[in-house]
Amino acid sequence: MSVLRHADGEPLLLSVDGGVARLTLNRPDKLNAFTVGLHHSFMQALDQIEADSRVRVVLITGAGRAFCAGQDLGERDVESEKPLDLGANIEAFYNPLARRLVGLKYPLVCAVNGVAAGAGANLALLADLVLAKRSARFIQSFAKIGLSPDCGGTWTLPHLVGQARAMGLALTAEPIDATRAEAWGMIWKAVDDDRFDTEVENLLAALATAPTAGLVEIKRAIRAAWSRTLDSHLDHERDTQRQLGLTQDYREGVRAFKAKRPPNFIGG
């Protein structure tokens, strides 16, 4: 395993092994809440991941009992008379982060190992696949502190669960547990706590040995669908299939099927 950065006190850990880039939010005492330092580390880690040709899938998870409690409120001096420009923080950190995560070429998996609140909840909802421990909760905490969801939450929530449920979650800040989040289509799977690590590893191993070029096009097409008509999307699907039909992995997949043997995909 190659550990690119892994030092005590680092707010974010990154390792790359077996095609999987693992990002671990690492401020467990503060439930992995976002600080400026964590944001900077995140951007550097994404630079490293994007430059690493070994990577075929990206994982984000949290250290300790939480996934992420959103913005570290300790960084906000609400006693000072000086006005706070939260928009500047969103512009500098959360929006670039959201855009980079959504734009990642390879499948992005979030393993929600515990509570995900505020921007932490919405960070998870940007992933292509979200697995959550059954004991985990998602909380749109913003309404409790006079804010409105960020990190894409007012976009992802209605797309994922519909307006009524999005409104309910955001206006009340009621926690939703992982079982219900799965039932509502907000996440891919709620997994029993004792099976969670195994399920996450199985999923990562499957994605890291899958025909990567195909997965890249699948996520691109599904994400692009939100802003396209069916008619133009049919053209996109034709072009994608033409391109994928030229890959070694397509030939390998069909050969393996015909030979009744497991495929050995190279990723392109």
Residues at the site binding ligand T3D, with contacts judged by CB under 6 A:
30-31, 33, 69-74, 76, 86, 89, 115, 117-119, 139, 141-142, 145, 147, 150
Rounded to the nearest whole angstrom, what is the least distance from the CB of residue 88 to ligand T3D in the complex? 8
Rounded to the nearest whole angstrom, what is the least distance from the CB of residue 49 to ligand T3D in the complex? 23
Burial class of residue 234 in the structure, from the number of CB atoms within 10 Å of its CB (0-12 exposed, 13-18 middle, 19+ buried): exposed
Q: Which residue's CB is nearer to ligand T3D, number 35 or number 44? A: 35
Q: Which residue's CB is nearer to ligand T3D, number 117 or number 187? A: 117
The rounded distance, in Å, linking the Cα atoms of 95 and 206 is 30
Q: Which residue's CB is nearer to ligand T3D, number 115 or number 204? A: 115
Rounded to the nearest whole angstrom, what is the least distance from the CB of residue 139 to ligand T3D in the complex? 6
Element containing residue 104 per DSSP (H, E): none
The rounded distance, in Å, linking the Cα atoms of 143 and 82 is 23
The rounded distance, in Å, linking the Cα atoms of 60 and 69 is 14
The rounded distance, in Å, linking the Cα atoms of 189 and 202 is 13
Burial class of residue 93 in the structure, from the number of CB atoms within 10 Å of its CB (0-12 exposed, 13-18 middle, 19+ buried): buried
Strand, coil or helix: what is 53?
coil
Rounded to the nearest whole angstrom, what is the least distance from the CB of residue 36 to ligand T3D in the complex? 10
Q: Which residue's CB is nearer to ligand T3D, number 28 or number 168? A: 28
Rounded to the nearest whole angstrom, what is the least distance from the CB of residue 203 to ligand T3D in the complex? 25
Q: Which residue's CB is nearer to ligand T3D, number 32 or number 209? A: 32
The rounded distance, in Å, linking the Cα atoms of 84 and 147 is 13
